[in-house]
Structure 1
Amino acid sequence: MKIVGVTSCPTGVAHTNMAAKALTKSGEKLGHMVKVEKQGALGIQNRLTKQEIEEADVVIFAVEQKVREEERFTGKTIYKIPVAAPIKNGVKVIEDALALIK
């Protein structure tokens, strides 16, 4: 499966990066392709392309604030959770997101 995500915490530094890393590692562990965009104090990092979003089976928003340019994800299945969730259990987050499309 192809999964894209957005992570964002109020300051956009520590938890944003930790959540992105947890989603990526957990997805790889389960055999899925994962790309995560980080939004925070430095703007948008690792920006998802239109094609990556279109090809994604599911989108994960691990956020504590409004997703910037959220309209890019219109029509996609979105699983929205707190930014700490993938840090605590990334595998469960991936599995729960994928369960939405089955």
Structure 2
Amino acid sequence: MHVHNSTRQLSLNEELTMSKKLIALCACPMGLAHTFMAAQALEEAAVEAGYEVKIETQGADGIQNRLTAQDIAEATIIIHSVAVTPEDNERFESRDVYEITLQDAIKNAAGIIKEIEEMIASEQQ
């Protein structure tokens, strides 16, 4: 897993008022099966972990369920599960983005989310 770090810090008030929101972007070169398998696995694991979830897919049928600036600003966790450079990637420049492979998302979405939560918790100490 790779983390792109941002310089944005949340104020205590922002942290206290934010609910748990996980957003993700899934994309692969063909944009057929793996994109949607990863999206489904991440969505199921995030819901199980108590997150509000929104996942954008960039596949053969274009961009579906596009993440808005508000989605990105409100997210507790942002995951990119991609095998290509996503379109409009600059939207995420001000936030930490956890990059994982499509296979990791498909095979171990719950474990990935738990690992990210642990990383965030250790950074806040």
What's the CA shift for 1:25? 0.4
Report the structure number with the largest CA radius of gyration.
2
Say if 2:76 is the partner of 1:63.
Answer: no
Letter in 1 for 2:79: I
What's the CA shift for 1:30? 0.9
Q: TM-score when scaled to structure 1?
A: 0.93
**Percent of aligned pairs with the same residue?**
41
SS state at 2:120 partner: coil
Rounded to whole Å, the distance in 2 between the matches of 1:11 and 1:99 is 33
Q: TM-score when scaled to structure 2?
A: 0.77
The residue correspondences of 1:3-22 to structure 2 (distance < 5 A) are 3-22=22-41
Say if 2:80 is the partner of 1:80.
Answer: no
What's the CA shift for 1:84? 1.2
Query: Over aligned residue pairs, what C-alpha RMSD do you find?
Result: 1.1
Gaps of 5+ in 1: none
What's the CA shift for 1:38? 0.2
Rounded to whole Å, the distance in 1 between the matches of 2:97 and 2:56 is 14
Gaps of 5+ in 2: 1-19
What's the CA shift for 1:57? 1.3
